[in-house]
Structure formats: C-alpha cells, structure tokens
Amino acid sequence: MKNSHTIKTGVILLSGSLFMSFMTKAQTPDTGIFTEHNDIGAVGISGEADYSSDNQTYVLTGSGENIWFDEDAFQFAWREASGDFILRARMKFKGEGQHSHRKMGWMLRTNKTPGSPHYSAVVHGDGLTALQYRAEQDGETLEMRSEVQSPDIVQLERRGDTLLMSVAKYGEVFNTISMPVEDLQDEVLAGLFVCSHDSTTTEKAVFSNVRLVKPAPDDLVPYQDFLGSHLEVMNMETGHREIIFTSPISIQAPNWTPDNQSLIYNSEGLLFKISADGGIPSQMNTGFATNNNNDHVLTFDGKTMGISHHADEDDGQSVVYSLSIEGGTPKRITAKSPSYLHGWSPDNRYVIYTAERNGQYDIYRIPAEGGEEVQLTNQKALDDGSEYSPDGEYIYFNSARTGTMQIWRMKPDGSEQEQLTFDEYNDWFPHISPDGKQIVFISYMPEVDAGDHPFYKHVYLRQIPIDGGDPKVVAYLYGGQGTMNVPSWSPCGKYISFVSNSGVWW
C-alpha cells in the first residue's frame, strides 16, 4: 500500500560543501572521506593517495611484493569503522601494469603491522577476484574465489558476524559470496588498497563512486526513524556519480527544473530547491501545504508543480494540488482521498495518480482543473508509479499483478496494458528519458514484498529501452523509498538525480 512519511520536526541541512563532515570528523586533501593513508609493510617505493574533490575520485599508487602468506606490503587509504557497514566503489587499474597479480580492492584490517588479520575484497590484474583473509596475526592467508572475472563494481559488507563480498561488471547484477567472521574485532581499519606485486615498481588504481554506508539498525522504526541522505547526480553515459548535497536527515525524490540548473526535493513535509551543482538549498513557498510527501511533479513546461499534501480536512490523507512553480497557494485537484500524484500529461491537461478506492490501489486520471476522475487500471494487486511518455502516447507504471512488481505500460485511456519487465526483482517508478527512448526505474531485491517500497535496502537503478528489453544496472546503492519516486531525468537527458542513504559515521 501507499505510505505517508512526513515528520514534523526541525529541518537541519548541510550544504554540499560540507558533505564530507557528515562522513568523518577528520580529513585531508589527499584522503577525502578516509582519515589516513599509509604504506603497510616493506615497500620498495613509497605510495601515494590522491583525492580529487572536483570529481570525487581517488587514485592510489602503491608498491609492495604481495598481500599473501603471513605478511603484506601495499598502499592503504583507510578510516576506522565499527558495527555493520557497506563499502562500495567502482575501480580499475590505470595503465597496462607490470604484473598480472597486482591487486586492488577493499580491506578490513585489525592493525597496521604487516601480519595483521585482514579480510579483503581483492581484484587481481589478470581478473582473478577473491575474498582473501588472514584470520590470525601473522597467520597464513586464505581465499574464497568469485565466479566473476575482472569486476569493476566491488562491495564489501559486514552484517553482524558475516562478511559479504559482492562484485559485478558494470551493468550486471551482483554475484555474492559470504563467510562467517565471529573472531573479527568490532573496530577495524576499513579502506581501499593497491599492491604492485613487485617492490621495484608501482601500480595505480582509480576508485570512483566510493561510498561508505552505515545501514539501518535492526531496531529502526520505519517512517519514524530516519537515516541521513545523499543527493546524487549521475552521468548516464559514463555511470559516474557525484554527491552534490548531504543532509543528516531524510531528503527524498529529486526532480529537475526545465532549465537544467536546479533540483527540487522534499524533506519533512516541505519542498526545497537547490542548484544542480550543490550549495545551500532554499525552501519553496507551498502555502498551507506543509505536510507534503514525495510525490511532487513538474509539468513538462516547468511552469506548474503538482504536490501531494496530507490535508487536515481529509483526516491527514493525501490530496493532489497544483501551484505555480514560483510558489503560492495550492489549488485542490482531487476531490477524493487518498490520492498520490505521479504524473502530468505533456499538454498539461491531465494529472495521473494512484488512489485507494473500494479497498484497492489503482491508477486514475483527472483534468488538471479538477473534475471527474477516470479509473485507468482495476487490479486487486497494487498499480502505482504512473508517468506519461514525452509524446503522450503511453502511460508507464508498475504493477504487482503477476506476483512480483514489474514495469508495464498502457494507452492514456487505460487500454492495451502490456508488461515490459520479466524477472525476479521488484521494479518501481519508471521514468522516461526526455528523448522518449529509455526508461530508468528502481529495483528491489526478491526478498522485499512486491507491494512494498521500503526505506533502507540494497537496490539497483536499472535501465531498459522504451519498448522493453534486458535491464542494465546503472547504479548500485543503499536506498529505496524516496530514492527516485518522481521524474528524475535532467531535461538535457544526460543525467539522472536520486537519493542514497547512510547513517552518520561518527
């Protein structure tokens, strides 16, 4: 079912320039979100760690004979970590390299001695990928090999007394191996590494889309307790992501203004506008509507905004309104509630929304000035997430009618309903590119109920051609509810925006 999730507390926001402070108390220009970088063991050539704040990318240069047997030698950029966490990055070696067994990846280490216990997600120069570990000080190194060769997406997660290494070639879903680690101490050194496998030379590794995530604790109460949020912008051609703004509270559902210059998002019942380059957000004037959820949508011409406000006169249920993009007093559109806005027709004549009527949630259409609503779908299972294609020929939506949540489309009058995705994932909120050629949507893992789109889960953002096809993963993240509920393509079609989540690291 649809959920309301506005909490009326003070809004606390951090500017984009301060997003590193959200992650760590101490940093240097070299190490970004890590607190130190060191050569571990006897290296022939001193290593380096360079962080570029312009593109939020790390380059590690390291020497060292190996990370194997009973001692190691390599370059390490790290920070202290404890409890559960998720480490994820896109990584590649720079240049052809001198040795097929040069190594890069993520590492958890007990101390900085050469023989420290460690657990590492390792990618070798020849493509070999393994979860390598030394369980005891100065002990032997062992490994569990992955089926995936030469992945460029590497994730290492500690979940209680279990470690999970998940790897993928960009565009594909994760392949995961896990192992128990009951003896691993709570506080570890966690970070990125590179080893040349030859102490007389160095190797470079480039790490982008680097994320250190503190997941939701087991006792988190959904829609009452919240994690912090990163507002991200991703280049759809390269897959490169940058965090433009971070808040220690929940922000959700960014969409773009038509000039390609700004993003609008909601937080704690209010709407905010921020430059697409980051900076200080400003609160938008929504009049009496101060209990908005994350269903705000701009018209195709960008002059009008639709919102879903939880109205006191409707016992706190969601009602669809419209107002000028410049702000003002909202005008009610839907007479009945609950109604959750999702899209405008390209000619601005209609809005489409999900509504609960007669005990089930279906998709409806209504004139933008209000009037009689028209039911477009009629399913006992949830239909949701409707959005017009830019040419107005179709409405795309998600439906659980087959048992899993999948992407569908239909004609604007509700006819010719056809399914577009067909796998075990639960797919939500299809968003159509401005040129009408691609669809991006969020995918939950199979263990999530088909009718639910909760906060704080491992999710994929995936892409298919407009008429369907094999989905390609375009982003790997921790998020869910609020990540991309609303149209999220930039008007130029080059970027998408979304929200990822993490608890505070300190």
- Interval 129-172: pLDDT, tens: 999 999 999 999 999 999 999 999 999 999 999 999 999 999 99
Residues 366 and 240 in one domain: yes
- Interval 388-400: pLDDT, tens: 999 999 999 999 9
Residues 166 and 265 in one domain: no
Residues 103 and 140 in one domain: yes
Residues 191 and 261 in one domain: no
Domain assignment present for residue 15? The answer is no
Residues 238 and 323 in one domain: yes
List strand residue ranges (DSSP E) for 369-413, in order.
374-375, 383-388, 395-399, 406-410
Of 152, 187, 213, the domain-final residue: 213
- 339: enclosing H helix or E strand: strand 339-344
Q: What is the pTM of this model?
A: 0.94
CATH number at residue 240: 2.120.10.30
Residue 380 scores a pLDDT above 60:
yes
Amino acid at 110: T
- Note down the domain range covering 240: 228-502
Average pLDDT, the chain: 94
Residues 260 and 382 in one domain: yes
**Tokens at 491, concatenated:** 């008007």
Of 213, 243, 273, the domain-final residue: 213
Residues 251 and 391 in one domain: yes
CATH number at residue 132: 2.60.120.200
- Predicted confidence at residue 6, as pLDDT, reads 30
Residues 470 and 323 in one domain: yes
Domain assignment present for residue 219? The answer is no
| Residue 121 CA from chain centroid, whole number | 21
Domain assignment present for residue 252? The answer is yes
Residues 101 and 64 in one domain: yes
- 178 backbone dihedrals φ, ψ, rounded to 5°: -135, 160
Domain count, the chain: 2
- 23: enclosing H helix or E strand: helix 19-23
Domain assignment present for residue 482? The answer is yes
Domain assignment present for residue 486? The answer is yes
Q: pLDDT-derived band of residue 506, with 50, 70 and 90 as boundaries? A: low
Residues 132 and 247 in one domain: no
Residues 6+ apart with CB under 8 A from 128: 101, 145, 149
Of 179, 213, 247, the domain-final residue: 213
Residues 145 and 270 in one domain: no
- Predicted confidence at residue 232, as pLDDT, reads 98
Integer Cα distance of 432 and 448 in angstroms:
24
Residues 445 and 470 in one domain: yes
